[in-house]
Amino acid sequence: MLRRRNLLTTLLIVLPWALLLTLWHQYPATPRFNGTSPLREEGLPSCSWQQASGVAPKVIQNYVYSRPPPWSDTLPTIFIITPTYTRPVQKAELTRLANTFLHVQNLHWVVVEDSPRRTNLVSNLLEKAGLNFTHLNVESPQSLKMNGSRIPSHKPRGTLQRNLGLHWLRDSFNKTQPPEGVVYFADDDNTYSLELFEEMRYTRRVSVWPVAFAGGLRYESPIVSPAGKVVGWKVVFDPNRPFAIDMAGFAVSIRLILERPQATFKLEGIKGGYQESSLLKDLVTMDGLEPKAANCTKVLVWHTRTERPMLGNEGKHGFSDLRMEV
């Protein structure tokens, strides 16, 4: 009888310790992992980065209806920086652009919204499009804001957004090992032919070409000497600008952007038409320009403007359901 009691007591004594031990085994307070696995830095071939304060990068590969051509490791990348702002035609413009960009190989679209936070409209559009993209946002101060009511003036627009795009590029890539590629500022209401992207792809420093409907002309163009160097500008609007060219008329190589971190679009004291010069003068001189589009004899990009749609029937209080995304 004594033995059985001994056994029982021993069991009762050991039981809670055994329980404790098993619990401790399952939830160890002491760090048991060895070897840190740092957050992977996605390299160039990966698809999209979304950055806002504090959000870690997310890899999205969502091809729904159309795919861009497969990424090639040898082709230089084309980074397109598009500033955009909310207005009724925004979704239509971005859809059009996406349809165009889906044909271009090795294209990375950097969309920068003029808004305090990234809107669902743009996020959903970008995710569904299937392109490689980065979605950023920065709000312009009230004085520079593009309101629907403002007549398009010569005030520079999209400056902060383009600068943020450049800033992202400089953050994402190493100056000592720059990727092969080119940066192009594509506004969301222009029309781009597919040939244009292949012309700009192999830019060594800054390449230029004619732009239709810019500067009040059928087209504005650089003047190219028979030797193939840019010697002037065939423009009517202020031909004395250092670079009398439209935003859609030039592309800069990534290497150059990374080499000159202080080169950005200037905001203060920039007259209309001088925004492009404010960036280019820090990057290149006139004889460093490379003329493209068959020595600037072909028009491959049109500075089209989309007319504001007449929404007069909406009335003061709105008529159509606001929940429908347009």
Partner 1 sequence: MKVKLKNVFVVYFLVSVIGLMYALLQLGQPCDCSQHLRSASDLMHGKDKKISQLLSEVKRLQVRGKGPELEGQALPIIYAITPTYARLVQKAELVRMSQTFLHVKNFHWIVVEDSPVKTQLVSELLAQSGLRFTHLHTETPKEQKLKESDPNWLKPRGVEQRNLALQWLRENRELSEEGVVYFADDDNTYSLRLFDEIRSTKRVSVWPVGLVGGLRFERPLVEKGRVVGFYTAWKPNRPFPMDMAGFAIALQLLLANREARFDMLAERGYLESSLLQSLVSIEELEPRADNCTKVRRGTGSQDSWVLSMVLGVQWIKWVRAGDQDSWVLG
With tokens 């971190």, the residue in question is 261
Least Å distance, CB 278 to partner 1, is: 27
Least Å distance, CB 177 to partner 1, is: 24
Q: Which is nearer to partner 1, 193 or 295 (CB)?
A: 193
284, 259 Cβ separation under 8 angstroms: no
Q: Which is nearer to partner 1, 33 or 141 (CB)?
A: 33
Least Å distance, CB 41 to partner 1, is: 12
Query: HSE-up of 249 (CA within 13 Å, CB side)?
Result: 31
Query: Closest Cα partner for 217 from 228, 233, 240, 230?
Result: 233
Q: Catalytic pick from 199, 276, 290, 314?
A: 276
Least Å distance, CB 60 to partner 1, is: 6
Least Å distance, CB 66 to partner 1, is: 5
Query: Closest Cα partner for 107 from 82, 78, 127, 83?
Result: 78
Residues that bind partner 1 (CB under 8 A): 6, 9-10, 13, 31, 33, 36-40, 56, 58-66, 86-89, 91-93, 95-96, 99-100, 102-103, 115, 119-121, 124, 191, 193-194, 212-213, 218, 302, 304-307, 309-315, 319-326
- Clarify whether 276 is annotated catalytic: yes
Angle 56-58-64 from CA coordinates, rounded to 5°: 160
Residue 297 is labelled as binding a ligand: no
- Name the DSSP class of 235: -
Q: What is the DSSP string of 166-191?
A: HHHHHHHS-SSSPPSEEEEE--TT-E
Residue 303 is labelled as binding a ligand: yes
Residue 255 is labelled as binding a ligand: no
Q: Which is nearer to partner 1, 237 or 242 (CB)?
A: 237
121, 147 Cβ separation under 8 angstroms: no
Residue 157 is labelled as binding a ligand: yes
292, 248 Cβ separation under 8 angstroms: no
Q: Which is nearer to partner 1, 38 or 141 (CB)?
A: 38
Give start and end residues of each alpha helix (H) in 78-235. Answer: 90-101, 120-129, 159-172, 194-200
Residue 134 is labelled as binding a ligand: no
Binding residues for Mn(2+): 189
Binding residues for UDP-alpha-D-glucuronate: 83-85, 114, 157, 162, 187-189, 303-305
Task: Enumerate the active-site residues.
Answer: 276
Binding residues: 83-85, 114, 157, 162, 187-189, 303-305
